[in-house]
Amino acid sequence: MAKKRPQTKATKPQRKDGAGAAGANGTVPVVGGREPCPCGSGRRYKACHGRAASHAATELVQRPFEGLPGECDWVAMRELVPAATAELTLKDGLPEGVPSVTLATVLPMAWPALRRDDGSVLLGLQNDTSSGDLSRDLADTLQRALTAEPGSPVAAQRVSADGPRLQDLLDTSAAFQPTVHSGFEFWIPDSAENATPEVAASLERANAAAIPTVKLSGVDAAYWCETPEKNHLRWVMAHPEERLLDSLARLHAAGSSSLGEGTRLVGSFRAHGLMVPVWDLPSGMGADECEKPAAEFAERLATALASDAPLTAEERRARGGLTNRQVTLS
């Protein structure tokens, strides 16, 4: 009679060491979701370390521009302003062959970034991103643009959850000064005649859709815009939301929340963790006519923000009305 072979238990795949496992700092490299996880568990990446990476990549960062100079203007360029640029200063200086880095609201064909023929970099702000941290997505695009071939756009890609953020790459002591443009001619350094047919068509479409917008000079992050029916002032504010709502309610109840005759505070929206109060303006009220009343309103708001008195019944009603008219954009 044949001798039975001893039964053995199935063994689990052994964790690999060395190059196939986690990196020297203990991190697990990002690979395709269906590939084996580099940690050596024997499972697919998406069912192992990819699950945590995916969660980290999609977790929403409420204030992605917090800690950057000009946070309110970053929000405005992302959500309010059609055509604007701002020079960026890198923490470690410009790499060789890169004469400048410029943030732009929009780029041709919605490119995330562009390395121009002269080596300069344009970084687009108003693009869809792959994760919940806009700052990390933009930092990844910026890093790839700095090493891209001159004369080439930079495509979007999935971003590692542990990559750097803009706050890691930019000099946070440098001023952030947006320049608002009437159109998108800044895409082409010389003239539109030198643009490719695709870029020229994109330029024409973008210019046709742009709403005239002006940044006020007397107060921070306030933008006048013109629409066919009426004009508006949209003002990005970094004050804590609850305190700002209380202060706006105090002014509204006192009849001092407007910017003059024919204007009214109509509500606000929330964008990237900041509040943006909005005023309706008469169609004949231009940006220059907004400067003085906006500066006067800023003084009234500062006084209201300094008050710790409980809201009156009328002020609470005003606050409720403002809250009901608040919309969250992002």
pLDDT reading at 118 higher than 80: yes
Q: Are strands 101-104 and 222-226 parallel, antiparallel or unpaired?
A: unpaired
Total Cβ atoms within 10 A of residue 254: 14
Write out the H or E segment, with its range, that includes residue 79: helix 71-79
Strand partners, 101: 121
pLDDT reading at 257 higher than 80: yes
Last residue of a domain, one of 153, 185, 209: 209
Total Cβ atoms within 10 A of residue 299: 9
- Tracing tokens 């890691």 back to the chain, one arrives at 168
pLDDT reading at 213 higher than 50: yes
Question: pLDDT at position 328, please?
Answer: 79
pTM of the entire structure?
A: 0.81
Q: Both 152 and 262 in a single domain?
A: no
Q: Is residue 266, in this structure, part of any structural domain at all?
A: yes
Last residue of a domain, one of 174, 209, 244: 209
Q: Both 307 and 257 in a single domain?
A: yes
pLDDT tens-digit readout, 280-330:
999 999 999 999 999 999 999 999 999 999 999 999 999 999 999 888 776
Strands (E), 196-284: 213-215, 222-226, 231-235, 264-271, 274-281
The parent domain of residue 133 ranges over 71-209
The structure tokens listed for 280 are 């309706």
Last residue of a domain, one of 155, 190, 209: 209
Q: Is residue 21, in this structure, part of any structural domain at all?
A: no
